[in-house]
Chain A
Amino acid sequence: MKKQNPILKLLFGIIILVVAVLYMYPIIMIIFNSLKVETAISTNTVFELPRSDTFNGLNNFISAITRQGFLQSFFYSAFITVTSLIAILVCCSMCAYFITRIRSKVSSLLYYLFVFSMVVPFQMVMFTLSQTADMLNLNTPYNIFIIYLGFGAGLAVFMFAGFMKSVPVEVEEAAMIDGCNPLQTFFLIVFPILKPTIVSVGILEAMWLWNDYLLPTLVLDIKKYRTIPMLIQYFRGSYGKVEMGPMMASIVLTVLPIIVIYVFAQKYIIKGMTSGAVKG
């Protein structure tokens, strides 16, 4: 490598920084606006930075949390994401293990059904799914994870099965000979080997669960339970004046945790989210 001129290097660094800031501008803009008073957020003043007379401190955030039920929505979103994620990771890895290890017609039929379900657009099943959920009373945040397990199973089983094929059977056989039953073999031997795939599938499904809007809107009772995407949509969808300040604050509160997690787990997140694509 040839030595670089320090001035050129600095200039290059500045260019990179400018590109980064421009690309992130929509988010930076929302953060600035969430700090302004209501009257200063109109259509043509969005680009203005908060000034001393328009600065509103954290009042918008306080209002979003206390009056708009942000914390409750956050809880519902988090609860649904965590329970569904655990269900998907545990049940689907077991299912994928079974259908890769037992080669039979039923196994391959199941596998193709799972793959098929990945391609089907949600609109195809949305009405009947919400009716089925209502009929079985699976319409609260506390048991909606069963619906998510069913609808998220396709991708998870597909990815687990893809990885499982490359795991040698010998280790499992050794464990069985040493006296493990299949459940012990799975949880003590196979599950740890699956760790990288579990992280990838987990991230992919978690992003979907956290951001999903349509499924909870149709299944849950919107008056009682609102997840975060539903809350944001409700801000605009409800009639009357939209409170821009608290809405901006809610968007910031929604986006910031994701950015913080992303900063720390960037490598895993990028790998996890793209691994599904490359295999497909």
Chain B
Amino acid sequence: MERALKKYWPIFLLPTIIAFIIGFIVPFAEGMYLSLCQFTTVNNAKFVGFRNFIKAFSDEQFRSSFWFTFRFAICSVLSINIIAFIIALWLTKKFSGNNFLRAIFFMPNLIGGIVLGYIWQILINCVLSIIGKPLLALNSTAGFLGLIILMCWQQIGYMMIIYIAGLNSVPDSLIEASKIDGATDLQTLFKVKIPMVMPTITICMFLTLTNSFKLFDQNLALTGGDPSHQTEMLALNIYNTFYARAGAQWKGMGQAKAVIFFVIVILISFIQLKLSRDSEVQQ
């Protein structure tokens, strides 16, 4: 059977591979190389070594958007996961209306980032104007909080569904056994349920962290980096370096930032995965 299938490889493999080469392999390789060049288009690249990286690291704006992204990621990962877990605990109890609420909480996840950003921009600006604070375009604290609220609203439902699946897979016999041994509800939660769903917590933390780090659409639509780049996250900073400025020096610097961003995202994924794997219960 293998031999017959092997003969058909052009039909099975080629369409995907050609598209993959055009859509990913070539741009990725080119991107890696161009981070070491000065250029305005792919064709006029001039090799300059690591100069772009030095410029990228010494860019004040890049550093501040890195810290902004970092703070944002920590706050949003914690708030999304804690709230989603609590809601999941509530919705694994049996009551009517339970499925309806799950569906409602999940809904915002289907709306695209740009639309979400504008919906919340309108809402938050209204609240700010009623309480007499400066609007989003002039208010970086509100921008930060707004991004977290938006991110929570969008992601809680998704994480909740994964947590519910995890909680439902905890065997009832374990929970009954802990009850018979006299554990309180809180003890059952912290000593039985949470250790048992640790793999699920790993997945959710990993997902929210990378989502927060890669956030772009929501950032662009909600604050656009205003006021004066103070709420600009990494992805938006890279985009602005590429497209908001004219001149030969920016594109190379943008590509160097993109490579740094790529390395950060990969590193975070691995570190987080390893840390959480170590703390999982041996089964």
Contact = CB atoms under 8 A, between A and B. Distances in A.
A274 B158 contact: yes
B111 to A, nearest CB: 6
Given A95-B16, A119-B269, A247-B118, 13 more contacts: A23-B105, A47-B130, A120-B265, A123-B239, A147-B22, A149-B16, A150-B23, A176-B1, A181-B4, A211-B111, A214-B217, A277-B158, A277-B162
A26 B34 contact: no
A232 to B, nearest CB: 5
B73 to A, nearest CB: 13
A46 B22 CA distance: 46
A119 B11 CA distance: 27
Interface in A223-270: 229, 232-233, 236, 247, 251, 254-255, 258-259, 262, 266, 269-270
B24 A269 contact: no
Contacts of A262: 103, 107, 110
B281 interface: no
Interface string A2-41: 0000000000110010011001101101100100000000
12 contacts: A16-B97, A43-B125, A94-B15, A95-B17, A132-B26, A213-B112, A213-B217, A229-B217, A251-B115, A274-B161, A274-B165, A278-B203
Interface in B7-61: 7-9, 11-13, 15-17, 19-28, 30-31, 34, 41-42
Given A94-B12, A125-B28, A251-B118, A211 B19 contact: no
Secondary structure of the A contact surface, majority rule: helix
Contact of B112 (A157, A182, A183, A229): A229
Contacts of A126: 239, 242, 258
Interface of B: 1-2, 4-9, 11-13, 15-17, 19-28, 30-31, 34, 41-42, 95-97, 100-107, 109-115, 118-120, 122-123, 125-126, 129-130, 135, 153, 158, 161-162, 165, 203, 206-207, 210, 213-214, 216-217, 220-221, 234-235, 238-239, 242, 251, 254-255, 258-259, 261-262, 265-266, 269
Interface of A: 12-13, 16, 19-20, 23-24, 26-27, 29-30, 33, 43-47, 87, 91-92, 94-95, 97-99, 101-102, 110, 113-114, 117, 119-129, 131-133, 135-136, 138, 146-151, 153-154, 157, 169, 172-173, 176, 181-183, 186, 207, 210-214, 229, 232-233, 236, 247, 251, 254-255, 258-259, 262, 266, 269-270, 273-274, 277-278, 280
Contacts of B101: 16, 19-20
Nearest to A26: B119
A117 B130 CA distance: 46
Contact of B27 (A26, A132, A149): A132
Contacts of A173: 1
B107 A95 contact: no
A153 B18 CA distance: 11
Contacts of B9: 98, 102
Contact of A101 (B5, B19, B165): B5
The 5 A-B pairs of least Cβ separation, nearest first, read A150-B23, A211-B112, A150-B19, A125-B27, A149-B19
Contacts of A13: 96-97
A163 B130 CA distance: 53
B11 A127 contact: no
B215 to A, nearest CB: 10
Nearest to A211: B112
B162 A124 contact: no
Contact of A154 (B24, B135, B206): B24
A119 B266 contact: yes
A195 B103 CA distance: 24
Nearest to A212: B112
Contacts of B30: 128, 131-132
A30 B25 CA distance: 41
Given A110-B17, A147-B23, A211 B113 contact: yes
